[in-house]
Amino acid sequence: MSYAYYPGCSLKSSGKPYEASLFKVFEAVGLSLDEIADWNCCGATSYTSVDDMKAYALAARNLAIAERDGDGGVDLVAPCAACYLVLSKAQHYMKDNAAIGEGIAKGLGSVGLRYEGRVRVRHPLDVLINDVGVEKIAQAVKKPLGGLKVACYYGCQIVRPYSTFDDQHQPTSMERLLGAAGAEIVDWPLKTRCCGGSLIGTIQEAGLRLGYILLKEAKKRGADVLVTACPLCQFNLECFQDRMSKEFDDRVDINVAFFTQVLASALGASDKEVGFDRLLKWDPPKPVGAEGGSHARA
């Protein structure tokens, strides 16, 4: 089975390992992703706060292309949390707000496009949990994670405001997938709290504090790895650990990866294929039972 794929800019740049590992995960369970033609920036959250009509028209162009090139209803996979939210929002606004709907239709019309609302915007977590299922993932595991202690982090955008496939406050889909791959899930109630988002670039003290709170609590609860499904979250949480350590005079040191990297690795992909080498740091304990298992905890 094949899904239409909207990468967004992050998965082609800072989030490259997310894309590489996502493809590996889909391949391992017999799914493929077809990148839609001539896609453009989703507008992210920044554009919507400047001019929402133009921002949603920009997002809607991608939906219109996916609909035009697909047959019938289209499932469009958007892995980046921001893209997923903006595309979903554009859908809702067009449907629920006649003025915005007409404005967007006019905009699309000017470039020879139209949109009828047949695209379903899907997050990879949604596809893996609901279309593939935990059982099939468990069967496909080749290198079990051997009790790797994982804290699953969703951030704010995947389940809010639209909780189409998981609980808004305490989602569990990532835990179920990685649990099926042999990870030990760390109970960590902060999984939908803000990572700092763009505050890291604007009001850095505030942004750093938000990220620090997350990492410190995950570490306190024994996590070896924090996994996420958002390129900005991954960036904020991984790249500013040194600065957090200085700011709060408290050593912050934890692996932060995309959930697909850890999952693809369990499904048999090599470290290079999933892009562990593209992370700033990747040194979790070796899986229990694997070769060189001396690193495993007693």
Query: Does 189 interact with another protein (rule: CB under 8 A)?
Result: yes
Q: Which of 52, 131, 184, 217 binds another protein (CB under 8 A)?
A: 217
**Strand ranges in 98-200 using DSSP code E only, listed in sequence order:** 119-122, 149-153, 184-185
Query: Does 222 interact with another protein (rule: CB under 8 A)?
Result: no
The 111-150 site mask, x for binding another protein (CB under 8 A), equals: ----------------------------------------
Q: Return the structure tokens found at 239.
A: 């790249």
For the CB of residue 264, give the shortest distance to another protein in the complex, in Å.
28
Q: Alpha-carbon distance 100 to 93, whole Å?
A: 7
Q: Which stretch binds another protein (CB under 8 A): 29-37, 65-73, 167-175, 199-207?
A: 167-175
Side-chain-side CA neighbours of residue 285 (13 Å) = 19
Query: Does 170 interact with another protein (rule: CB under 8 A)?
Result: yes
Q: Which of 34, 51, 69, 167 binds another protein (CB under 8 A)?
A: 167
CA angle 252, 253, 259 (to 5 degrees): 120
Q: Are 288 and 147 contacting, i.e. CB atoms less than 8 angstroms apart?
A: yes
Query: Does 169 interact with another protein (rule: CB under 8 A)?
Result: yes
Closest CB to another protein among residues 18, 188 = 188
For the CB of residue 167, give the shortest distance to another protein in the complex, in Å.
5
Query: Does 185 interact with another protein (rule: CB under 8 A)?
Result: no
For the CB of residue 169, give the shortest distance to another protein in the complex, in Å.
4
Q: Which of 53, 105, 185, 190 binds another protein (CB under 8 A)?
A: 190
Which residues, other chains included, contact 101 with Cβ-Cβ below 8 Å and sequence gap of 6+? 93, 94, 95
Query: Does 247 interact with another protein (rule: CB under 8 A)?
Result: no
Kindly give the pairing relationship between strand 149-153 and strand 225-228: parallel
For the CB of residue 245, give the shortest distance to another protein in the complex, in Å.
19
CA angle 95, 97, 100 (to 5 degrees): 100
Output the 3-class SS for 98-115: HHHHHHHHHHHHHCCCCC
* Long-range Cβ contacts of 113-116 (<8 Å, 24+ apart): 113/61, 113/64, 113/65, 113/68, 114/64, 115/60, 115/63, 115/64, 115/67, 116/67
Query: Does 164 interact with another protein (rule: CB under 8 A)?
Result: no
Query: Does 41 interact with another protein (rule: CB under 8 A)?
Result: no
In the complex, which residues of this chain contact another protein (CB under 8 A)?
167-170, 189-190, 217
